[in-house]
Amino acid sequence: MPRLLCLGDSITDCGRLFSADPSGNGYVKILSGLLHNAGYDFSMENRGIDGFTLERLLQNMDSWLEASDPDIVTVLIGINDIGIMMNTRRSSAQQQDLMEIFAARYEQLARKLSGTGSRKRKLFFLEPFVFPWPRCYASWFPLLSQMSVHIRTISQKYGAVFVPLQDDLNQKASLHGMSAITEDGIHLTRQGHRILAEKLYTLITACLLYTSPSPRD
């Protein structure tokens, strides 16, 4: 039975710590339901924590990996790191220094997650995103674009699947209205979480079909 571990910040957490449902109320819960309804036999653990940066994730990851021993790991992290770069009166040079630190830490994350020898995990690295709603968040786009390039490059290096989200989610928001997809420019509505869950479902089921028996009839 494949074991799935979902890592991230408040977008992944989505009320998990205050809910009777350990999968939370966002894309992890929706993804679990989609897999269950399709007949897949799996276990899933949500380890998203509100406010987490990449540094905080790394500090906790070893114990989570030991406890879960996952076959598949999804990671959505970075928007709080962008917030620190943008909201703490850093100079452009200081922002670039922080971005390089982020890239080095993300590579450390990929190296730890990838496994060794025959024990190779399937990794899905999700692109952090933000919406220009309020409009001040549009100023985050240049740094977010740099971060995405780093994550994409690291994904390729370690054989992870890079999951682009920024353009797709913003296109959906332009089509349906910002308030339909995002609550505040960073966090997702139920519809936004479903878009993310369905994208992951397509990618993960392709992985499960390739590595596991077919789902039950």
CA neighbor of 10 nearest in space, from 111, 79, 110: 79
pLDDT at 214: 47
Cα→Cα distances 90→25, 86, 99, 102, 143, Å: 34, 7, 12, 15, 13
| Residue 188 pLDDT level (bands cut at 50, 70, 90) | very high
Percent of the chain exceeding pLDDT 90 equals 90
pLDDT in tens, 17-70: 888 899 999 999 999 999 999 999 999 999 999 999 999 999 999 999 999 999
Percent of the chain exceeding pLDDT 70 equals 94
Q: Which two tokens stand for residue 15?
A: 């009320």
Helices and strands, number each (H, E), in the chain:
9, 7
pLDDT in tens, 108-159: 999 999 976 667 899 999 999 999 999 999 999 999 999 999 999 999 999 9
pLDDT in tens, 96-110: 999 999 999 999 999
The CATH code of domain 3-211 reads: 3.40.50.1110
pTM: 0.95
pLDDT at 2: 93
pLDDT at 20: 86
Q: Which two tokens stand for residue 6?
A: 């979902």
